Amino acid sequence: MIFGKVARILADILDLDFELEEEQITLDMALTPEFDMEKIQMVKLVMECEKKFKISIQDEKVHTFHTLGEFVKYIENAVSENEGNIAESSEEERMWWHYS
């Protein structure tokens, strides 16, 4: 699910027709200049994914992603943590409301 959304964002950034280029956008795809992935495009990918998934991607982590799979895995973990934090804060809010 997350991979598909990231792949569509990446296809838009690289100006690819997602339906025609789907076989090129894989988890093993290198996020390097060899695949025409310029630094500005990586920045756009990060920004779009942050908005789409409502997460924050640490700047120092961006340089560690060598493949799309590594990037997707990071997003999956961040989304899971974010969902856990929302559930915890909701519980805290309910407890505060109950005891106030």
Is 62 buried (19+), middle (13-18) or exposed (0-12) by CB count in 10 A? Answer: middle
* Run means of pLDDT, 10 residues per run, the chain, 100 residues: 92 78 82 76 94 93 92 95 62 47
CB 75 within 8 A of CB 49: yes
89 vs 54: CA distance, rounded Å:
16
Instruction: Say what the pTM is.
Output: 0.77
Calculate the average pLDDT of the chain: 81
Token couple for 83: 């969902």
Residues 6 or more apart from 3 whose CB is under 8 A from it?
27, 68, 72
**What's residue 14's pLDDT?**
84
Token couple for 88: 């915890």
Token couple for 54: 């409502």
64 vs 83: CA distance, rounded Å:
24
